[in-house]
Every structure is written in structure tokens, then in C-alpha cells.
Amino acid sequence: MTVGDTKPLEVAVVGAGITGLTLAAALRRAGIGVVVYEKTNAFGDIGAGIQLAPNAVRLLHRLGLADALAAVSVRSTAIEIRDGHTGRVRDLISLDDCENRYGAPYYLLTRFDLHTLLASQLPNDVVQLGKACVSVTESDAVVQCRFADGTGAEADVLIGADGIRSAVRGARMDDRPDYSGYSVYRGLVDANGLPISFTEPRSVIWTGTDRHFVCYPVAGGRMVNFVATVSAQAWGAESWSEPGEVDDVLDAFADWDSLRPLIEAAGTVTRWGLHVREDGLDWTTDRTALAGDAAHPMLPFTAQGAGQGIEDAVALTAALTRHGDNVPLALQAYEQARRPRAVKVQTLSRDMARTFHSNATEPQQHPEARLASDSLDWLFNHDAEAL
């Protein structure tokens, strides 16, 4: 890929999370030069479990990860929504036909496994660690990024895939994330010895007033991931994550349907405050773009956060491949294609949170069942590569 048929297009990506690494893998596959700059000094055990719907899995298959994904994931057969107190099934969304209907399975896996697979697609020199972006300067011809260690980088395009606290976004606008009113406890439990109700290949969501609880198997079925969400008016911690207390989770869900064995087996949990941003900033300039949480952070209640970042990465690659000789046009095409869908998923996630935390007792009072069923085709059939 060349710019004006004179030199190869060079892209700098800030942030080596799932969005950034997917973007790097997609760009390299398209023949576009890329370097990823990551502020941490080493990759660690990143997060706990994630769900990947067919709209994202299909794109990862195109990057050559089909066999590797299958080896570390659990194919989900259903999303089951239960009453938190009684355990009564309110809705069952079958995923058995995902591969026939959408061309890819619905996967349950750990964030660490996905991150490791994406990193394995890249040569060692593509990702540079210990590079914290502190400033961005854009001209007509190039964009420059300066790092906290005093070094800098120059590229034709700079992509901010550096999360909700994006330095690339911060270079343009001071719109600090707002606490959403929800905090979550996350735990990862050895599946051995757990009741089968927690280890079956599906996602189970227990819903109730001001709280809900999700669990599903990961790591090829060897572990079970859970996320316990509670409404909390304030987040007082300086960090967005901190060690949590298993007893606090037990107390919050003490009167719920048989959750105690899973929570007690966790041993330790982490506690996170969920934050959001207003949708008020253009994602792109002539030479920079935002992707993933840097562009559209969303609550995790449609399990589409990672998937939307993967869609961004593939759409950006498609736009740069198609319009590489006109970078501003390419970035405009990316934003025009992606923004309406991402904003809609953001809204959907926010609405799902309200629904999960309602006190409705009858299935017809729960729009999550109706909404989830009606939304599957729109969510899962979308092809982000087809701008």
C-alpha cells in the first residue's frame, strides 16, 4: 500500500489491547506498515472472561485464527436469562445455529487467551512496550507522537486504540470519563467440583432489582468466569479497579438462586467501576482516528465491547486499503461506516443495564428477552469489512 504511489503507507497505533492488536494484524495482512506503541512494560494476565459473538469471530477467522480460537474457547449453545431470586428461566436464546446462520460460532473465552493469540500474529518488532503517549502533533503530511520516555514516532496515520483513558483522545479534548452508577465484581473459578449448572456451555444471566449476575465457562471449559454487577451511586476509589471482597459479593446475592457455591469457590475477586463518555467528539481528523473504547466506550451488558473494537480494526483496515492514497477520505469513510452502529450498541448496552436491574416479574415485562431475540440478526450478521 502506497501513498500517492510514492511511499508505503505507515500507521502508528497507540495501545496494544484487543483493538490495537487486531488492527495491527489486519493492517499487516493487507500489506500496510504498522507499529504499535504500548505504555505498559510487559503484557500481563489481562482481565477475565469475554464473550465473542459471530460478528467478531468471523473477522478473526479471516485473520487466520479459526483453529487457534477454537482450541481456547467454549462454543456457547445459549444465552439463558433467569430470575435472580427464583432461578426461573425468563428467556432462552439458542445459539446452536450460529455457524449455519451467521458463519461463525459464539465463543466464550478469556481475554488473556484472545490477547495472546492476537499478539502471536505479529513479529516481535511490531509492538514497542514502555511507550506512553503524551502528545500528538498533526500536519498536512504526517502525524507525530511523543512519548513519556522522550522518544517520538512519525507516521502517515495515528490510531488511538488506547482505551477509555485515551491519550490520543485527550490530545484533542478534555472529556474525562464519567462513573456510570454501576460497579462489577469479577471472578475466575476452577470448573472442577462446581455444579453442572455453572459449567454448561452457555451464558447464564440472573436479573433482579439493582443488580445482576452473569457466568459462563472459559479456557476450553476448565474455568468459569463470573461478573456480578451492582448499582452503586458513587465510586470513591482512585483506581478504576481494586481488590474486591468475596464476602461483599456473597452478601449482595445472598438471597439469590444457588449462586453461593460459585462465589465461594472464587477465593479472590476484583472490583471495577464502570465508566462512560458522552458521544460528543469526532473520531477522526485528517490524520488521526480513534477506535475501540477510545472512540465509543460502552457498558458490557450486550457483551459487544471487544467485538465492536474488532469491527473498528477491520473497518479501518478496509478504509485505508481502499483510500490509502487519500488518508483524510479513508478516515472519514471509517467514521461514517462505524459510528452509527457503535453508538447504537452503546445505547443498547445502557438500556440492557436498566432492564437487567428492573424489578419486573413477568417475562413480557422484560424487554431484554424481546430485544435480544430481535437484535441477533442486526448484531451478528454485520460485516464490518464491507464499508
For the segment 42-76, what is each residue's pLDDT rounded down to a tens digit?
A: 887 666 899 999 999 999 999 999 999 999 999 99
Kindly state the average pLDDT of the residues 336-365.
Answer: 81
Q: What CA–CA distance (Å, rounded) separates 305 from 51?
A: 9
Q: Set out the domains of the chain in order of their start, with CATH numbers.
A: 2-66+110-176+281-349 (3.50.50.60)
pLDDT digits (tens, 9 = 90+) for 196-206: 999 999 999 99
Q: Which residue has the cell 448496552?
A: 349
pLDDT value of position 253:
95
Evaluate if residue 221 carries a pLDDT over 60.
yes
Which segment of 37-51, 251-265, 351-365 scores lowest on mean pLDDT? 351-365
Evaluate if residue 238 carries a pLDDT over 90.
no
pLDDT value of position 64:
97
Which segment of 277-291, 300-314, 317-331, 352-366 scores lowest on mean pLDDT? 352-366
Q: Which residue has the cell 490495537?
A: 20
Evaluate if residue 364 carries a pLDDT over 50.
no
- All 3 cell numbers of residue 259? 449462586
Q: What is the mean pLDDT of the chain?
A: 91
Read off φ and ψ for residue 359, nearest 5 degrees. Answer: -110, 20
Q: Where would I find the H helices in 121-163?
A: none
Q: What is the dihedral of CA 359, 360, 363, 365, to 10 degrees?
A: -140
Read off φ and ψ for residue 35, nearest 5 degrees. Answer: -130, 135
Evaluate if residue 92 carries a pLDDT over 50.
yes
> With contact defined as beta carbons under 8 Å apart, do 199 and 217 qualify?
yes
pLDDT value of position 360:
52
- Spacing of C-alpha 278 from chain mean position: 18
Strand locations in 9-168 (E): 10-14, 33-38, 49-52, 74-75, 78-83, 89-94, 107-110, 127-129, 133-138, 143-147, 152-155, 157-160
Q: Which residue has the cell 472529556?
A: 175
Strand bridging mode 33-38 / 10-14:
parallel
pLDDT value of position 228:
96
Evaluate if residue 93 carries a pLDDT over 80.
yes
Q: Which residue has the cell 461483599?
A: 248
Which segment of 162-171, 263-272, 353-362 scores lowest on mean pLDDT? 353-362
Which segment of 2-6, 48-52, 351-355 scores lowest on mean pLDDT? 2-6
Evaluate if residue 366 carries a pLDDT over 50.
no
Kindly state the average pLDDT of the residues 8-20.
Answer: 96
Is 179 annotated as catalytic? no
Evaluate if residue 361 carries a pLDDT over 70.
no
Q: What CA–CA distance (Å, rounded) separates 68 from 85?
A: 39
Q: What CA–CA distance (Å, rounded) separates 209 from 228?
A: 13
DSSP string of 3-16, one letter each residue: ETTTEE-EEEEE--
Q: Which residue has the cell 439493582?
A: 210
User: Could you tell me which residues come within 8 angstroms of residue 132 by beta carbon, excluding any fewer than 6 positions away?
Assistant: 39, 147, 148, 149, 167
pLDDT value of position 368:
44
Read off φ and ψ for residue 168, nearest 5 degrees. Answer: -65, -45
Evaluate if residue 241 carries a pLDDT over 90.
no
Catalytic residue among 37, 106, 185, 216: 216
Q: What CA–CA distance (Å, rounded) separates 269 from 227?
A: 10
pLDDT value of position 101:
93
- All 3 cell numbers of residue 40? 505498559
Evaluate if residue 356 carries a pLDDT over 50.
yes
Sheet holding 133-138, edge to edge: 133-138, 143-147, 152-155
Please count the CA atoms within 13 angstroms of the CA of 18 that sit on its side-chain side.
26
